Amino acid sequence: MNNAYDGSRDMRRAIDRLARRLPEPLEDLAWISYNYLWSWTPGGSELFRSIDNYRFVQAGQNPVRFLLNLPERDLLRAATDRNLLVRLGELAERMEQSLARPTNHVVSSGSVAFFCAEFGIHPSLPVYSGGLGVLAGDYLKETSDQALDVVGMGLLYRRGYLHQRMDLSGWQHEFWIEVNTDQLPAVRVRGADGLPVRITVPVWEGELAAHVWRVDVGRTPLFLLDAGLEENSPLERWVTSRLYEGSPEIRLAQYALLGIGGVRALDAMGITPGLFHLNEGHPALASLEIASRVAKSRGGDAEGLAALLAEGRERFVFTTHTPVPAGNETYDPEQFFSVLGRSVDEMGLSREQLSAQSRVDEGAADEPLGFSPLAIRCSSSTNAVSQRHGEVARAMWNPLFADKTVDDVPITHITNAVHLPTWMAPSMRRLLTTFLGANWERHTSDPALWRQIDEIPDVDLWQARCALRQQLVEMVRRQVVVDRLARGEDVALAESAFDAFDPNLLTIGFARRLATYKRLDLLFYDVDRLRTIIDHEQGAQFIVAGKAHPLDNDAKEVARNMFTVKRGLDLPNRVAFLEDYDLSVAPTLVAGCDLWLNLPRPPLEASGTSGMKAALNGSLNLSVLDGWWCEGYDGQNGWAIDGSVTDNPQLQDEHDAKALYDLLEHEVKPLFFTRDANGIPVGWLARVRSSLRSLGPMFSSQRMINDYVEQIYRPGRPY
């Protein structure tokens, strides 16, 4: 991008400011700190940690905050550390090379603007809640790795997503922490006049104003809109305060800012996207802004909205992530227009026509309004996020295409995947580099590459797995002591965690948003059978984590019930609940578990991605055949529970819990604990190899981005 007012100049100014605080030999740390590329470049995280691990963690792994708060003497010490300077030079060179590559244009008409309500890039940028955000973050990172011209658009939630604290009974409490924007690796974008770029969107009775922040995710800029401005009213400021706010009115205002404001912000920065990618329905109102521009270019005649949307359609593609009607948020029309009526009026669009376009049945005046129907209608392509989700989505949205049979509904799928350099632990990456060659990460979608996994000797693979489990156990020990003390457990019990959790046990993980359909409760369905599985010298230990949405009392109840069962088991250090699950915990957890569980009620898991992250680290999956696992499971590379849909949920739970315990007791445990003379579980490792071989090429984001470019972005468009 050559435009001078897209924040790149502001970024350079911020970097210069930080560089002036650093001793000369460390100056490169300034620009490195302002580009999240460091977080997935080999040696990046290690470099900051070796300056002062404790302070780096205290700074939330935010390098800008870390450097701004590091005492002068520590900076001077680092500046004379030869070894550190050599590693700094290597990191800078790797990053420079990545940033200097020529751009690979996706389509010739301009960059792809990827709009999403959340982005999970790094723990230090708390604008994500779970899978959707992490997927969006992985997407941006992979577009940078492939040098594609993509920009991200989202919101800067100043209080981010909730933090979790459990009380003694296991009931979840929430709190929020405000981020200090001055110390984020982000800059406020300024225009030609030197003032912050400012856009407005009419919301409620006023003009909601927002500034734009720029965050560099490798070569891909992420722009975040921020309504936390003095000129806004307290209510207006609240719009970018918290992610997935409980009030539908606030959410509507958020999605208006994201969709309408996002298009205006790009315009104000001089960026004209060739394509808008709506990731989930939240930003769908972007289509109105484009429609109104089409209308205005005609002198504002009273053309129908449907026709205007049809004209803008070539510029929109939509990815749906939600397999149930209830997951596709809808709004009462009166509420909708009390928040957004003026916006719609000022764009010269008709409220009635917008209502019709936002309903499944255009003519049903009593049907609430939703963003998914609007997004489907305004986009030239709609895709689901796994093959099975594609089937579910075609059936679900068939009513929008009344003249078509289910199979002909024009919704395809691009199966989700994860960013390998982010999710494969550094030690695994090094191991694979040894056996797959120095440049293996450039072609991770090539199955032939992954066949070389067979060349890794058992002993090396097993050592790598044991080291990852050991790191996880150490993290769990430290964190569980603190969690228990914080909720007021007995000091002795809290302290017992510090040398409990065993690095030699079969370690089983379950961590993700606590929504009831994820069925964490299946794990605790039959206490006696659970005890049989864990209470043994060669037993298992469970590590569980996840947050419930503040208003989801059913999910909170599931967590509380787990605490009750845990207490009853009387084996306090064989089941750990890690509080406040987020991106600072996830990499260690997915890498360190031997077995990763996913137990959704089918067909409600659109894709699921945490199991892919685990697989990349040589962990094995045991999952219900739903979402990605229908494509991933081949009979040899993990374990599966039947994924058919029934109309009797109680029976299904009973059946699935039994299947889970049977597999754990009769297959997983014996395979893990059957060892050869050297203590190596040869049969287990054969399965690990088969998992890496088969899942590596399919579920690394390189494959996913290739699919988006070839199947969604380019067909029918010049490039």
Binding residues (CB under 6 A) for ligand PLP: these are 130-131, 134, 512-513, 581-583, 586, 598, 608-610, 613
Nearer to ligand PLP, 111 or 588 (CB): 588
In terms of CB distance, is 118 or 236 closer to ligand PLP?
Answer: 118
Distance between CA atoms of 230 and 214, rounded to whole angstroms?
20
**Shortest distance (Å) from residue 668 CB to ligand PLP:** 19
- Other CB atoms within a 10 A radius of the CB of residue 668 amount to 24
Q: Quick one: which of 544, 547, 620 has its CA closest to 589?
A: 544
Q: What is the residue-wise DSSP string for 518-543?
A: G-GGGGGS-HHHHHHHHSSTT-EEEE
| Closest to ligand PLP by CB, 122 or 315 | 122
Smallest gap from Cβ 254 to ligand PLP, in A, equals 20
Cα(126)–Cα(41) distance, integer angstroms: 21
Token representation of residue 362: 């255009």
DSSP readout, 680-692? --HHHHHHHHHHH
Query: Bridge partners of 188?
Result: 213
Minimum CB distance to ligand PLP smaller for 271 or for 468: 468
Tokens at residue 191, please? 């225009």
CB of 656 to ligand PLP, least distance (A): 17
Q: Least distance (Å) from ligand PLP to the CB of residue 586? A: 4
Q: CB of 374 within 8 A of CB of 284?
A: yes
Q: How far is the CB of 330 from ligand PLP (least distance, A)?
A: 23
Please classify residue 366 by burial: count the beta carbons closer than 10 Å to its beta carbon, then call 0-12 exposed, 13-18 middle and 19+ buried.
Answer: exposed
Kindly tell me which of 214 and 518 has the beta carbon lying closer to ligand PLP: 518
What tokens were used for 604?
Answer: 């409600």
- Minimum distance of ligand PLP from residue 632's CB (angstroms): 13
CA angle 372, 375, 378 (to 5 degrees): 150
The closest of 421, 413, 415, 371 to 393, measured between CA atoms, is 413
Task: Report in angstroms how near the CB of residue 590 gets to ligand PLP at its nearest.
Answer: 7
Q: Which is nearer to ligand PLP, 202 or 509 (CB)?
A: 509
Q: Is residue 551 exposed (0-12), middle (13-18) or buried (19+ Cβ within 10 Å)?
A: exposed
Nearer to ligand PLP, 128 or 223 (CB): 128
Looking at the Cβ atoms of 262 and 509, the one nearer to ligand PLP is: 509
- Rounded to a whole number of angstroms, the minimum distance from the CB of residue 607 to ligand PLP is 7
Q: Tell me how far, at minimum, the Cβ of 494 lies from ligand PLP, in Å.
A: 25
Q: Measure the CA angle with vertex 621, ends 426 and 124; round to 5°.
A: 40
CB 592 within 8 A of CB 504: no
CA angle 91, 94, 96 (to 5 degrees): 105
Least CB distance from residue 63 to ligand PLP, whole Å? 20
Spacing of C-alpha 444 from chain mean position: 20
Beta partners for residue 508, in sequence order: 542, 595
User: 131 vs 602, which CB is nearer to ligand PLP?
Assistant: 131
- Between 9 and 165, whose beta carbon lies closer to ligand PLP? 165
